[in-house]
């Protein structure tokens, strides 16, 4: 049954939290360069991937699914520094100046709005361009006004809000997150212990009818209060934490071990990273948020309770080390101790010399386009089908997250096929 999907008419405003950060400026530059024919959107599922139709014909996803055209996107957002997107991208040093200069005028025109920021949630950052808000509720009201003003000033039909800012400190789920009424009460009472700035952005986006995407592992929209609000407002939410480097490898290798029924006794992961994200994660409270996100992957894939002989005693350790000389060029190193027939041990070592923002940028773009599609298709609440793009996929208390990359990819295609009234092809025909 084909879903009723509103057409992608008019302009789509993409408001990025952390618009001057490495991931955001890389995504924006690549998108602008792609629509001018100066670059190809490599890594983007929405732009380059194909899908097999019921008649076994293979077509580009963007040719069969009504996605927003890249030419119809307008970028904006918030940042704790006032630099325009060109200045910010130069500072980030991810892309070469010649690549930035191809879209320099457009980047210079993207000037951030002042950010909702609380130094206690990211102690390594000292923002100079921040809102003065008496309470968290006041913070929300200011952000809602920003969204309305941007939408009007840029003649946008629709808005999507994307968090591409740094990881906040670890916040455990508490009573204030259990219902919408409790969340709003905590915001109005300015309970800064349990209400993070990211929650204010998420609330403001949902209140304004804009899909919200959480690109970091913060406790934000993955609470009963936000699920309730997103359903009440008929708005899709997704996240969390872009699945870009080391975890991407884990969600490929772990399913391979399990499919072959090979045992795993230990998995040691370490990273060195020198950009602003690395600096923030050097703070133990912020690293804990990321650690919880990264550690959750293996257990869910291996199902140790079902296969105790193979995965009942896996020692899993994750480390992230701030190393300024590397800047955005992250090195992820994994040592995996596996065992096979009759328990004989083997080792696998993976050394992934990746570029953090180069891998994250297309994920951010795809999440924006697919979230907008979900909104136009009348979908709301947690978008489980977008787990493919996330390290720590959002899920409610009744479900387990799916981490296997190949199962996640099938979920993406199955959802898209359902939207356009297609069925999976018979590969044996």
Digit-coded pLDDT (tens) for 342-377: 999 999 999 999 999 999 999 999 999 999 999 999
296 in Cβ contact with 401 (< 8 Å) = yes
Q: Report the pLDDT value the prediction gives residue 163, as an integer from 0 to 100.
A: 98
State yes or no: pLDDT of 319 exceeds 80. Answer: yes
Q: Residue 281 belongs to a domain with what CATH number? A: 3.30.360.10
State yes or no: pLDDT of 295 exceeds 80. Answer: no
Q: Are residues 159 and 50 part of one domain? A: yes
Q: How far apart are alpha carbons 410 and 392 in whole angstroms?
A: 18
Each residue of 10-58: pLDDT tens digit? 999 999 999 999 999 999 999 999 999 999 999 999 999 999 999 999 9
Q: Are residues 101 and 132 part of one domain? A: yes
- Give the CA diameter of the chain: 68
C-beta contacts of 57-65 below 8 A and 24+ residues apart: 61/416, 64/416, 64/420, 64/422, 65/373, 65/416, 65/419, 65/420
Q: Are residues 220 and 96 part of one domain? A: yes
Q: Report the pLDDT value the prediction gives residue 427, as an integer from 0 to 100.
A: 73
Assigned domain for 361 exists: yes
Strands of 329-339's sheet in order across: 315-322, 263-273, 329-339, 345-355
State yes or no: pLDDT of 393 exceeds 90. Answer: yes
Each residue of 264-279: pLDDT tens digit? 999 999 999 887 776 6
Domain that holds residue 266: 244-352
- pTM of the entire structure? 0.94
SS (H, E, C) 87-119: HHHHHHCCCCHHHHHCCHHHHHCCCCEEECCCH
**Higher pLDDT, residue 428 or 73:** 73
Q: How high is the mean pLDDT of the chain?
A: 94
What is the number of domains present in the chain? 2
Angle 284-302/246-259 helices, nearest 10 degrees?
20
pLDDT band at residue 249 using 50, 70 and 90 as cut-offs: very high
State yes or no: pLDDT of 61 exceeds 80. Answer: yes
Q: How far apart are alpha carbons 42 and 26 in whole angstroms?
A: 12
State yes or no: pLDDT of 286 exceeds 80. Answer: no
Nearest to 168 by CA among 86, 51, 273, 288: 288
The three-state secondary structure class of 80 is coil
Each residue of 164-212: pLDDT tens digit? 999 899 999 999 999 999 999 999 999 999 999 999 999 999 999 999 9
Q: Are residues 169 and 313 part of one domain? A: no
Angle 180-188/197-207 helices, nearest 10 degrees?
120
CB atoms within 10 A of CB 373: 24
The three-state secondary structure class of 161 is strand
Q: Report the pLDDT value the prediction gives residue 8, as an integer from 0 to 100.
A: 96
């Amino acid at each position: 049954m084909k879903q009723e999907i509103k057409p992608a008419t008019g302009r789509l405003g993409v408001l990025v939290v952390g618009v001057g950060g490495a991931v955001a400026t890389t995504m924006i530059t690549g998108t602008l360069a792609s629509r001018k024919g100066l670059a190809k959107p490599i890594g983007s599922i929405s732009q380059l991937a194909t899908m097999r139709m019921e008649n076994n014909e293979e077509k580009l996803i963007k040719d069969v699914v009504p996605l927003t055209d890249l030419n119809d996107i307008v970028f904006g957002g918030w940042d704790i520094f006032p630099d325009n997107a060109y200045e910010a991208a130069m500072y980030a040093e991810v892309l070469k100046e010649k690549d930035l200069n191809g879209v320099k005028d457009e980047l210079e025109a993207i000037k951030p709005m002042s950010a909702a920021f609380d130094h206690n949630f990211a102690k390594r950052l000292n923002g100079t361009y921040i809102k003065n808000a008496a309470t968290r509720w006041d913070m929300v009201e200011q952000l809602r006004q920003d969204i309305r003003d941007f939408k009007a000033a840029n003649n946008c039909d629709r808005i999507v809000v994307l968090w591409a800012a740094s990881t906040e400190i670890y916040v455990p789920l508490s009573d204030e997150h259990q219902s919408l009424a409790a969340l709003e009460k905590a915001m109005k009472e300015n309970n800064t212990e349990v209400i993070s700035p990211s929650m204010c952005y998420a609330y403001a986006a949902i209140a304004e009818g804009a899909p919200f995407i959480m690109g970091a592992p913060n406790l934000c929209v993955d609470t009963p209060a936000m699920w309730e609000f997103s359903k009440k407002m008929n708005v899709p939410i997704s996240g969390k934490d872009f699945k870009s480097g080391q975890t991407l490898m884990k969600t490929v290798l772990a399913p391979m071990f399990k499919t072959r029924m090979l045992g795993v006794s230990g998995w040691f992961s370490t990273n060195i990273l020198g950009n602003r994200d690395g600096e923030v994660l050097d703070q133990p409270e912020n690293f804990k948020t990321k650690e919880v996100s990264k550690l959750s992957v293996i257990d869910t894939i291996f199902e140790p309770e079902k296969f105790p002989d193979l995965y009942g005693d896996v020692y899993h350790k994750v480390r992230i080390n701030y190393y300024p000389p590397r800047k955005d060029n992250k090195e992820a190193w994994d040592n995996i101790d596996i065992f096979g027939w009759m328990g004989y041990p083997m080792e696998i070592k993976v050394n992934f010399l990746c570029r953090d923002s180069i891998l994250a940028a297309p994920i951010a773009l795809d999440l924006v386009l697919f979230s907008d599609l979900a909104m136009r298709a009348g979908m709301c609440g947690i978008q489980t089908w977008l787990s493919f793009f996330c390290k720590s996929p959002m899920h409610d208390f009744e479900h387990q997250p799916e981490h296997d990359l190949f199962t996640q990819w099938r979920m993406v295609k199955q959802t898209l096929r359902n939207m356009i009234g297609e069925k999976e092809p018979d590969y044996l025909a």
